[in-house]
Chain A
Amino acid sequence: MHVHVLVIGALFALPGLFVLLRTLQLGGELGETLRASMAPLGRTTLLATSVSITAAVLGTSLAWILVRSDVPGRSVWRVIVVLPLVLPTFVGAAAFLAALTNGGVLAEALALVGAEAPRFRGFWPTWFVLTLFTYPYVFLPVSARLLALSPTLEESARVLGRSALQTFRSVTLPQLSGAVGSGGLLVFLYTVSEFGAVQLLGYDTLTRVIFASRVSNRATSFTASLVLVVLATVVVVGERSRRRNRPSDDPIRTHPTEPVALGPWRFPALALVLTTATFGLFVPIASLTTWAIRGLTNNNVGFDGLAEAAINTASVGVATAFIAVLVVLPLATLLVRHRSRTGEIASIAVVGGFAVPGLVIALSLVFWTLNAPVVGALYQTLPLLIAAYVIHFGSQALGAAEDSVRAVPRDLRESSRLLEPSPVRRMTTVDLPLMRPSLVSGGGLVLLSTIKELPATLLLAPTGFRTLATEVWGSYEEGFYAEVGVSGLILVVLSAALTWILVLRRTDVIRDSGSNGP
């Protein structure tokens, strides 16, 4: 049982091993380089910590509002609110910047109230933009968990005298702490590995050191990568050990939850949702649209290849999501049901993979594929690209996979064993429907990340394999903003459609199929 988990763990550890290998191999003045990395390390840590805190608060609040309360239009908002995850952060940051310059949406709005657009560089703008583009990492697992939670606990608290808000703090939030923690961890690791927005907005982090010196001084670059891997490992170990004391079964929902009536609180709640959607989605889209329109009216846009890119993006994204969930599920099962040490170690490798910049993961896979026996034939094929995606993003499915395993309580499993001898049949008729909301939300995260991935795609994809992300990048690099606008918008629409079809429509499965109560 444990061997395949070790294999999984080894797979995810490949980038880290590669970095370690190269650092030792390239020598250089390790001490000197380490010292030079300390300031960027500090900035990376500061940024990642603050972003994960605000993203967690924002994501959890939105999840509660859009799952538990009676705010109107919840099912629509639940889709919209996830979408900021769709934009590659460099595009999002660039679009945001454009909105703040002359003629941009935000600049115009500020001009209306007589204010000037601020200079948008440095720590605070970076923190702001990254929070806006990462809170869905917390929103998705928390809302999945809220949907799956039995309402009995909250109802008990209400009957015992707690108001809705007090119930949330003392009963709901502890139940959510796992989802918030795993989502927040993802935000932290994402921010650590992020380069596009950070460079655009001028905040000097570890990733900048890695990229700036990657050709001119590879020793420095790899040392900085090693520092990053160590940081990620430390944080992951810390978060996972905090999570160890969790009950492993959840009571099943016997009836759907009544929405909490917010009364006058409805307005601030709706305002929060609207503001987030505006800044996280509508503003960047407005910029993209402006660019696209300007280009279309000047007839400057080349459409060839976009359809092919869109199809590639969708198919490889869905395939990756599927495979990623399959890969992490055995590990999740082991972690939840057996609490094994090997599982814990493997999971550190899995989760840590998210912090490694895509470029490094790609180079590591080049190294391992070309230097290991047999697998050389995989080089520059789609399976290898998918492997890179799975290593980079598999962590996003792990927390959700663990939640999904927890959604099938032991007595249910045991009774179904007695009734149905075929494990496959049991899986499809008993386990899967209960696991589906969480599995699908985890797969959804992987899907969204894969769709917008860039550096590994550029390096590892078979030549001529275009994705929407590479199209956007190509146009962006040379300042062809019209094409950035068009391909960016297609990216948003495609991601929204896939997210809706595959993720959000299905996460209500228990809500719909649950009994209406005796």
Chain B
Amino acid sequence: MLAAACTSSDGESVTVYSGRTENLIGPILEDFTAETGIDVEVKYDQSSNLALLIQEEGDRSPADVFLSQSPGAMDFLDGDDRLATIPDDLLGLVAADVRDDDGRWVGFSGRQRVLVFNQDLVDEGELPSSVFDLTDPAWSGRLGIAPSNGSFQDFVTAMRGQVGDDATSAWLEGLAANDVQTYPNNNAIVAAVGRGEVDAGLVNHYYNYRFLDEDPDHPGRNHQFATDDPGSILIVTGAAIIEGSDAPDAAAQLIEWLLQEDAQRYFADETFEYPLASGVAPSGDLPAAEFAGVGGLDLSGLEGGLERTQELISEAGLEG
């Protein structure tokens, strides 16, 4: 079982470090191999761990492609100059606001932040149009968040980018004062909403669909915030080619595959995400995603980046 690193002859095999689990991307990669004959070797782990690994491996990294669910991890590698430029024709396949300005990564599927709520416990009329409404006393004790979760932190970072640190801080402190309930991850929030422990929570959109899939009686439903509200941002899952890869062509082919109709339909229909390739419509079950300021979440522009976000969160007294 001594697996060698990927062979160096271009086009024979490509190595992917994927922050997206096998359940959600494995079939696509298998189809790629069937279609092109290029072998795909995949290492699965959390995006941040993989980014650390690529950084530690340096130019001896066997990785050719990096798939990241965390903008922070992608920016980390970008800042370390570990990402190669993606060919223009690939970049053209998606809208400008879901890819890196410098062409170092491209988004291929999206996850929207929503408010999941228990339809038996929350009236239609109560549903807020802005995430800022949640500091209202009417929501006291009824809301759940996951402060340590990457997606939440990405969302708060985007909020900082839109409205500034002070307003963001004020909102976080408002939540804390409003007896917000904390959970370790999105799953826990949706589960809690489902059993009525809290009435609503801030999560990524697709979790509720998964719960419904496993249990049709699940009372949770998604609610989208207004289009330009920070609460409705789209978090992009990005793909990048690693600088110094010995199979850049195969890597580019793989990324192209992710942006093709088949793969995009898979993301839309099987995993309930938003396809990002231009011209591909989301699954019928999903509301049209009108997202706000997704603008290639360029965290490097933000002062202090993800770390400052985490500071703000803990300063507000929300333990991650």
Contacts and interface: CB of A to CB of B under 8 A. Distances in A.
A132 B60 CA distance: 43
B310 A216 contact: yes
A298 B214 contact: yes
A68 interface: no
B305 A216 contact: yes
Interface string B215-245: 1000000000000000000000000000000
Interface string A172-208: 0000000000000000000000000001111010001
A367 B197 CA distance: 46
Given A380-B5, A380-B62, A478-B23, A463 B41 contact: yes
A112 to B, nearest CB: 18
A202 B319 contact: yes
B310 A212 contact: yes
Q: Which of A214, A379, A458, A479 has the most CB of B within 10 A?
A: A479
Given A212-B148, A382-B2, A376 B48 contact: no
A342 interface: no
Interface in A453-471: 455, 458-459, 461-465, 470
A300 interface: yes
Interface in B103-139: none
A367 B215 CA distance: 46
A115 interface: no
Nearest to A198: B184
A215 B214 contact: no
Given A215-B306, A298-B214, A477 B21 contact: yes
Interface string B184-202: 1011101100010100000
B24 A199 contact: no
Contact of A101 (B41, B76, B148, B191): B191
A458 B195 contact: no
A355 B215 CA distance: 40
Given A216-B307, A463-B43, A464-B42, A379 B5 contact: yes
Contacts of A465: 1, 3
B145 interface: no
Contact of A216 (B58, B72, B210): B72
Contacts, number: 125
B251 to A, nearest CB: 15
B49 A455 contact: yes
A304 to B, nearest CB: 10
Contacts of A455: 45, 49
Given A300-B214, A482-B214, A215 B3 contact: no
**How large, as a class, is the contact surface on chain B?**
35 or more
Contact of A478 (B60, B76, B195, B210): B210
B3 A380 contact: yes
B53 A480 contact: no
B51 interface: yes
Contacts of A458: 43-45, 49
Given A212-B310, A214-B52, A215-B76, A462 B214 contact: no
Nearest to B59: A370
Interface in A18-67: none
Contacts of A199: 148, 184
B62 A363 contact: no
B15 interface: yes
Interface string B239-283: 000000000000000000000000000000000000000000000
Contacts of A102: 195
A73 B64 CA distance: 56
B320 interface: yes
A474 B23 contact: yes
B171 interface: no
Nearest to B182: A202
Contact of A459 (B49, B190, B214): B49
Nearest to B56: A366
Contact of B72 (A97, A201, A215, A464): A215
Given A474-B22, A478-B23, A479-B187, A459 B53 contact: yes
B73 interface: yes
A479 B45 contact: no
A474 B46 CA distance: 10
Contact of A204 (B46, B49, B57, B319): B319
A101 to B, nearest CB: 6
Contacts of A474: 21-23, 44
Interface of B: 1-3, 5, 15, 21-24, 41-46, 48-49, 51-53, 56-58, 60, 62, 70, 72-73, 76, 148, 182, 184, 186-188, 190-191, 195, 197, 207, 210-211, 213-215, 305-307, 309-310, 319-320
21 contacts: A201-B184, A202-B319, A208-B320, A214-B48, A214-B49, A216-B72, A217-B307, A298-B214, A362-B53, A366-B56, A370-B60, A379-B5, A382-B2, A459-B45, A459-B53, A462-B1, A464-B41, A474-B21, A474-B22, A477-B46, A478-B210
Interface of A: 97, 101-102, 121, 199-202, 204, 208, 212-217, 220, 294-295, 298, 300, 302, 312, 359, 362-363, 366-367, 370, 376, 379-383, 455, 458-459, 461-465, 470, 474-475, 477-483
Q: In the A-B complex, list the 5 residue pairs whose CB atoms are closest, starting with the nearest.
A: A462-B3, A216-B306, A216-B307, A458-B45, A463-B41
Given A464-B3, A479-B211, A480-B210, 20 more contacts: A101-B195, A101-B197, A200-B184, A201-B184, A214-B52, A215-B73, A312-B1, A370-B57, A379-B5, A380-B3, A380-B62, A383-B2, A461-B43, A462-B3, A463-B3, A463-B15, A474-B22, A475-B21, A478-B21, A481-B214
